[in-house]
Structures are given as C-alpha cells and as structure tokens.
Structure 1
Amino acid sequence: MIESHRTFRINRIAALSLAAGLLTVPAVQAQRLLSLPEAINMALENNPQVKVANLRVDKQRALLPSALSLTGPELIFEAPTTRHFEPGLLMPFSLPTVYRNQRKVQEQQVQLSQTEKQVTTNTLRYNVRTIFNEILYLRESIANYRRQDSLLLDFARVTGVRQRVGQISRIEVLNAQSQQREIRYLLDQTRARVRSARIQLGLLVGMPNDTTLQAAGTFGKLAYSTPFLSSDSTFTRNPLSGFYRQNQRLSEANLTLEQKRRLPNIIVGYLNQGTAESPWLYRFRFGMSLPVWGWVASSRIKAAQTDVAIARTQISLNQYELQGSYDKAFADYLQYQEALDYFETIGLLEANEIVKAAQDGYRLGSIGYYDYLLNIQQAFKIRLGYLEALRNFNQAVITLQYLKGE
C-alpha cells in the first residue's frame, strides 16, 4: 500500500512537472501572409532608407531660416577725443537680393531632398516586387520538384520489384535511387533559397527579425496596361530624372546667388567721435564694402557655371542610361512573352503527355528504366523552363515599371 502510494505521488509530480514544462515552451509563431501591396506599404513606412530620406528633408527644411544669414555686429571701442574710449557698433548688410536668392537656393535644396526621397521609394518598390516574384517562383519550383520526387519514388518502388523478380539488375535500382536523391537535394537547395529570400523581404519591410513573413498570392503573369514602345525617350515620371532636373535648378539658383554676391555690402554703425554734446545724427556711420578683389567673385561664378554645365550633362547621361535599360528590359519582355506563348500553347501540354506515356509504358514494359528517366527529366525540364520564363517575364515587367516610375 505504501509502495503504491509512493508511486502515485511520483507519477503526480512528474505529470505536474511535464505540464509546467509545456507551459514554458513558447508557442509556435503563426505565419503572417503579406500581399504585395501590403509589403510595399510596410517598406515605405518602416524601411530605414525611407527614414533617412525623411530626416534629410527635415534637415533642409530646418535650414530655411538660415537663408537670412546676417553677419554678427562688431562692438568696437575708440578714443576720438583722446580723453576716453567711446563704444561703437558696426553692422554690415548684404543687399536684399542676396538674401532673397539665398532663400531660393535653400528652397531648391529642400525640393532636391524630396526628389531624392522619391528615388529611394521607387527603388524600394522595385526591390519588393523583385523579391516577391522570386519567392513565388521558388515556391512553384518546390511544387514542381515535389511532383517529380513523387514520380521518381513510385519509379524506384517499381524498379525494386523488377529487380527482385530478376527483370533488371541492381545497378539500375541504384541509378533510380540516385535520381531520386538528386531531386531531394535540389528540393532542399530551393527551400534554402526561399528562406534567404524571406530574410531579404523582412529587411525590406523593416522587420529583419520577423521569421513569420510569407508572400501571399499566386505565381502568374503580371498584367501591365501601359503600352510599351521599343524606343521611349520620355521618363518624366522616373524620380531619377526629376532628381537631375531639380539638381540643375539648384545649380542655376547657386549661379544667380554668386552673381548677386559680387555687389557691394552696406555698412551701418554708431560711434560718437565728438563730445557728449555732439548732435546724434553725426554719431552714426554709413558706408559700403568695395568688391575690389574681383578674382574671388569671378572664380566662384565660374565654378557655379561649371556646376550648371555638369547638371545638364548629368541629365543627358541619365536619359541615355535609362533609355539603354529600357530597351534591354523591353527586349527581355518580348523574348519571354514569346517563350510563355510557346509553353502555354505547346510545351506544358507536351510535358503532361510525356509523363503519362512514360508511366504507362514503363508499367507495361514497353520501355526500359533508362527511357523512362529520360522522358521524366524532359517533362520536368519543360515545366521548369516555363517557370523560369514566367519569372523572367515578370521581372522584365517589374523593371519597365521601375524605369517608368510606376
């Protein structure tokens, strides 16, 4: 009786310990499905690059009051009557046109930082769309490898039966098993690529430590309503084009400012050079600074003119690079559109027929294991080619959207 009671207590303690242990184990995190629009919105809100771009805009806005950059007053002491020192104050001023143009330059700088932010957001949209396209492609590739693995597993079982009844040799069984293990290896490699792509997605949306993110949606052909032209010289919606145009406006504003700065400055001051009874009017000083050192202003103006020329050249260079990238993306679009038309009308149907015919032929003994393997590999090679063509087609559309700023 005592022994049974002792055993009951031990079992009860063990059960309570097990329950407590289970309660301390963290629950498995549920997978979080993200659609493409949700991922883009999260990236535009949480990505550190956007936050840095916002801070740059805030910095330039904070500098707007500094456009009225007044030189500090000079406090001086002189003894005009040689009896005692009199305090004086001198205050130099630039002409109002200088302060007005300094304000314009700073406003152009604010707009430049805003267009720089647009460049960042356009690049982020491109990267999120690219990684989504890659994840969906890899997911379909895994499904394709699983179907192939299932067929090869069935093939390996049939081959083992034939080897036991003496129809085929052991080397043929080993070959079949080797083919299946190769597919398992490719399947594991593809799963590793998916994990890597999910990490990249988390970094883009500003959640680098979140391992629950999953791309939602089906892997299909992207629709794009904007007509494509083989030669499109208009990239007005591309933020990079806007950035270089704004940079030109900033350079031109700087040139105007340097031209205004070569004008004389005004000096106003106060100093009593007479006795205490001297009239107030004659205690004030008025004057101007003479820009006799002309080479200083000339060199700054020439440098500003060079900046304007550089900005204009950058616009032409950017247009040239965008046009080249657009032509390449458009050529890829046409190429993979033609490939998809082939796979959708002929290739995939042939792949299904090849698999069905190979399975029936091998079971009936009309073809050997070697021919069966060749046919299976050919069928899944066609399917994999279709998935790659679809991924490349979508990537071409994504690139065209990026270049057009959409």
Structure 2
Amino acid sequence: MKYIPIVFILAGVMTAHAQDAALTLNDAIQQALDKHPAVEAARLETSRLTILERTAFELPKTDVSLLYGQYNSIQRGDNNLTISQSIPFPAVFVGQKTVNKAMTKAAMQQEIVSKNELVFLVKQTFNQLLHLKALHECLAEQDSLLTALLHVAEIQYKTGEATLLTVTMTETQLMEVKNLRARSESDKQIALNHLQRLCQSPSITDIAGSLETFTSPGYIGSLTIDTNPSVVLSRQQIEVADSYRSVEVSRIMPDLRVAYFNQSLIGMQNVNGQDQYFDSHKRFQGFGIGLSFPLWLAPHIARVKAAVLSTTIARKQRESLVLSINQQYDAALQELSKNNTSLTYYREYALKSAALLAAQSQQAFRSGEVDQATVLLNVKQSLAIREGYLNALQQYNQSVITIDYLTGNL
C-alpha cells in the first residue's frame, strides 16, 4: 500500500474566525432587553400605574344645584344656589394610596419577571446555537476525512487493493454525514431566526463564543429561589390584595358631607323689630355639614369578605408557586450534578481515548496493519465521542441557565 495520502483531523475543532457581525451573549441580552415588546409593555405598565398613584386622593364630583321659583313666597324670582361636596372617610384615601403604591411595586416586579424570562430564552437559544455551530464543525471534519477515505478507497478498488464493499461502506457513511450536516445547518438557521426575533434584530448573522466558555466550570448557584422574580412578585401580589381589603373596610365608615348655599328671599323681612323689603340683590347664605351612613351593610360586608378571600387566594397561589419552583430547582441541581459527572468523564477519559484512537488508527493504517473498514469504525467511534461531549456540554450549560433563571440571576 504505497498510496495512502490521508490526513486525520480528529484531535480538535477548527477555530472559527469571528466576523464583524458576530454577536456576543451579553450584547444579545442587552439588545433583547432594549427592544423586545414584552419588556417594553412591562415598562409602560409600570409607568401607567406610577401615574395612577396620583388618583389616591380623588374626591367625588362636586354637586352644584340651582333652585329657582316660588320656594319662599308668591315671588317668582327667588333663587337658591347650593354647592355640596361629599368627602370619603380619611382612611379610604390612606388605603387607596397604599393600594396604588403596592400595584406600582407589583408592576415593577412584573417587569423584572419579563426580563428574567427573556434572558432565559436568549441564553437558551444562544447555547443551542453554540452547540449547533460546534456540531457543524465536527461534522465538517468528519466530512473532509470521509471524503479523503473515499478517494483512497476508489483508487485502491481500481488497483485491486480494496473491494467494492469498502467503497460502498465509505460512501454510505459519507452521505450520512452530509445529511447530518444539512440538518444541523437548517437547525442552526432556525435557532438564529429565533435569536433575531428575541433581539428584534434581523441583521444578526453569527454569534461569538464557544460552549466551553459559556459557563464557569464547577458552577454552583449562589442564590436561592427566594430571589426568583416570580416568587418576589407573588409576595407583592399578597400585599396588593391585603391593601384592597383595608380599603374595603374603610369604605364602611361614614362619609363627610359639606355644603354652602347662597339664596334670595324676596319680600318683607323683620329686622330688629322693623319690616324691611329685600329684593333679589339681597342675598342670604350659610353652610351645612353632615355624615353619610350606609344603611344597607350587606354589600359592604360582602366586598370585605371577598377581599379577605383574595388575600387568602394570593397566599395559596404563592405557596403553590414556591412548591413548583422548589421542585424545578431541585431537579435542576440534580441535572447539573449529572451533567457535571458526564463532562468529567469526557474530559478526563473519553476525549483522551478518542484522540489516542485517532492517532493509533492513523499510524496503523499508514503502516498497513489495519484495513479501511477498521479505520472507518474507529473514525466513527472517535467522532461519536466528540459529539457526545458536545451534547454533554450543551446540557451542562442548560442546567446552569435553568438555575440562573430559577434564582433570578440575570
């Protein structure tokens, strides 16, 4: 076997040259937070409720009434102008202010929840893209190697050193790799389109970074689910519900009512023992004050009971949420441990074995100790180990992303 022009490229991944359009993870997250409609809608909702805080001291409409005619004597030109104002019990204003502030805080926390969910999706998509890029490069290496092996097999078949079966086996394996490359390229474009939508930037054509540097080795989540934005929001929703209850209780209290009147009393009036005539230009005025009590308390009591139930519901919803997130967090930690064990296996043993297998196959093939079928098997096994490592690395990164999401680590 004098003609064996073959080069094995199994001991690593080709270095990708970053293009100007390559986007880093931090830039992708920032673009998404700046442009995504969900975050913008949450910001606007916070602004809306901040403005509504000014409505806490809202008074009912002022009542202005005019009475004209014969309300005092035969005279038809008498008139009475009365201005009255109802003022809710002061505790209502205080309670409504508390409600408005609690709702604003809840909206601000909802904004953080939206950001946390968006960052999670961006990181997840970015991790998927890095995996697909690395896998595509790995398959490209396999493609190049199998193309070279097929060329050798065809030459050896013509010279009688190889069989048609060897050519067919090599060609079949090569076509399978080409199919996998085409699929990975399509998957990469789908993921890239998703990232473009998340970042609201159709100009993104490539990303920077690698699976190896996506997370820190030996990652351990430093936060707890108490910092989860949804858990914090659930506490704020309890505060909102409790504030509503206080307001409903305050509404049962009596309202204050004040009034001012200005009127004419055309005719004779006895002033200091003497009758005097008063025309329409002579005005009589005064004021009134009173309290408004609810005569039918059933609707008020029902609203208070409903508000108490709303608070209880909010507490139960928080308990359910905490239970669910605790389960997810425990599962994520277990996944992290499992994937870390898998990575340790690949880094300390499997990858070294794959590199040794590649080197030994190259040397044995060149010296004629093994045939091409054995080389094909070793090549396939070696690259399968590399693909398994990339999958394990992606899953490890996903575990870290999930833990960051559950702890609110933006």
Matches within 5 A, 1:292-311: 292-311=295-314
Distance 2:204 2:242 in 1: 49
1:102-136 per-residue CA deviation (whole Å, 9 max, x = no partner) reads: 11111111111000001111112222221221111
Distance 2:218 2:382 in 1: 33
Q: Is 1:158 the counterpart of 2:161 in the alignment?
A: no
Distance 1:224 1:42, change over 3 A: farther
Distance 2:198 2:218 in 1: 27
Match of 1:192 in 2: 186
Q: Which amino acid aligns with 2:96?
A: Q
1:49-94 per-residue CA deviation (whole Å, 9 max, x = no partner) reads: 2111110011101111211221112222335316444232221110
**How large is the RMSD of aligned CA atoms in angstroms?**
2.2
- For the 8 Å contact 1:361–1:367, the answer to whether it is kept is yes
1:247-271 per-residue CA deviation (whole Å, 9 max, x = no partner) reads: 1111111110110011111111233
Q: Is 1:223 the counterpart of 2:204 in the alignment?
A: no
- 3-state SS of 2:58 partner: coil
Distance 1:34 1:342 in 2: 31
Matches within 5 A, 1:204-215: 204-207=198-201, 209-212=202-205, 214-215=206-207
1:184 to partner: Cα distance = 1.2
Distance 1:366 1:350, change over 3 A: same
- For the 8 Å contact 2:23–2:204, the answer to whether it is kept is no
Distance 2:61 2:395 in 1: 63
Q: Is 1:247 the counterpart of 2:241 in the alignment?
A: no
Q: Which amino acid aligns with 2:354?
A: A
Match of 2:352 in 1: 349
Distance 1:216 1:168 in 2: 44
Match of 1:48 in 2: 37
Stretch deviating more after TM superposition (160-169 or 92-101): 160-169
Distance 2:171 2:95 in 1: 79
1:211-242 per-residue CA deviation (whole Å, 9 max, x = no partner) reads: 43x2212321511787459xx9x422211111
- For the 8 Å contact 2:21–2:204, the answer to whether it is kept is no
Distance 1:253 1:85 in 2: 46
Distance 2:185 2:195 in 1: 15
- For the 8 Å contact 2:80–2:264, the answer to whether it is kept is no
Q: 1:81 aligns with which of 49, 72, 76?
A: 72
Distance 2:233 2:194 in 1: 27
1:146-187 per-residue CA deviation (whole Å, 9 max, x = no partner) reads: 111121111101110121122333343133112112111111
TM superposition score normalised by structure 1: 0.85
Distance 2:146 2:355 in 1: 15
User: Normalized per residue, which structure has more strand?
Assistant: 2
Stretch deviating more after TM superposition (347-356 or 365-374): 365-374
User: Normalized per residue, which structure has more helix?
Assistant: 1
1:271-291 per-residue CA deviation (whole Å, 9 max, x = no partner) reads: 35772679956x322222111
Q: 1:374 aligns with which of 364, 373, 377?
A: 377
1:325 to partner: Cα distance = 0.6
- For the 8 Å contact 1:354–1:379, the answer to whether it is kept is yes
Q: Which amino acid aligns with 2:198?
A: L
Distance 1:343 1:398 in 2: 21
Matches within 5 A, 1:46-195: 46-78=35-67, 80-81=71-72, 83=76, 84-195=78-189
Distance 1:243 1:224 in 2: 32
Distance 2:375 2:406 in 1: 47
1:98 to partner: Cα distance = 0.8
Q: Which amino acid aligns with 1:316?
A: E
Q: Which amino acid aligns with 2:152?
A: V
- 3-state SS of 1:236 partner: helix
Match of 2:404 in 1: 401
Distance 1:197 1:377 in 2: 27
Match of 2:387 in 1: 384
- For the 8 Å contact 1:224–1:397, the answer to whether it is kept is no
- For the 8 Å contact 2:124–2:398, the answer to whether it is kept is yes
Match of 2:247 in 1: 257
Match of 2:27 in 1: 38
Distance 2:368 2:149 in 1: 13
- For the 8 Å contact 1:91–1:267, the answer to whether it is kept is yes
Q: Which amino acid aligns with 1:210?
A: S
Distance 1:56 1:108 in 2: 14
Matches within 5 A, 1:314-333: 314-333=317-336
- For the 8 Å contact 2:218–2:340, the answer to whether it is kept is no
Distance 1:242 1:329 in 2: 20
Any unmatched runs of 5+ in structure 1? 1-29
- For the 8 Å contact 2:99–2:243, the answer to whether it is kept is yes
Distance 2:217 2:244 in 1: 42
Any unmatched runs of 5+ in structure 2? 1-18, 267-277
Distance 1:303 1:38 in 2: 47
Distance 1:45 1:97 in 2: 41
Distance 1:228 1:197 in 2: 27
- 3-state SS of 1:271 partner: strand
